[in-house]
Amino acid sequence: MSNTNLLPVLEPAADAVAPCCPPLTERPFTAEEAETAARMFKALGDPVRLRLFSAVASHEGGEACVCDISDVGVSQPTVSHHLKKLKDAGLLTSERRGTWVYYRVEPSVLAAMGKLLTIAEN
């Protein structure tokens, strides 16, 4: 008898983020690709947003309740504003559970951002 367990195949979530752009060195961006990449980098250009994004990305289990990441030196309404900006830029997804909202960085976002800044293979 085998002791192996089969893991289910997960389908991408309906709101999962698709990779935005090819590596910078592969070819010039289209206008749409440049707009998408600029929106992502603009959202991360604010130190509070970068701290919140990092807090979510590095949180145990890959997601964080807003109650766990609010200590970034600004008021709660400002934290909510910054999280909304990160979500609007496609960097975070969220899910409401009871009175709390949980945020997650989709693995495809990190992969896309990493791919964007790599040298294209020829």
pLDDT in tens, 34-67: 888 888 889 999 999 999 999 999 998 889 998 8
Structure-token pair, residue 70: 């609010």
Average pLDDT over residues 98-108: 89
Report which of residues 13 and 111 the model is more confident about.
Answer: 111
Which DSSP letter does residue 120 get? P
Please say if the pLDDT value at position 82 is more than 90. yes
Residue 8 near residue 101, CB atoms below 8 Å? no
- The strand pairing partners of 65, in sequence order, are 102
> In Å, how far from its chain's centre is CA 65?
15
pLDDT in the model for residue 9: 44
CB atoms within 10 A of CB 102: 18
| Distance separating alpha carbons of residues 59 and 53, to the nearest angstrom | 10
- Ordered DSSP codes for 11-67: PPPTTPPPP----TTTSPPPHHHHHHHHHHHHHHTSHHHHHHHHHHHHSGGGEEEGG
Please say if the pLDDT value at position 14 is more than 50. no
Which DSSP letter does residue 95 get? E
The DSSP H or E segment spanning 103 is strand 100-104
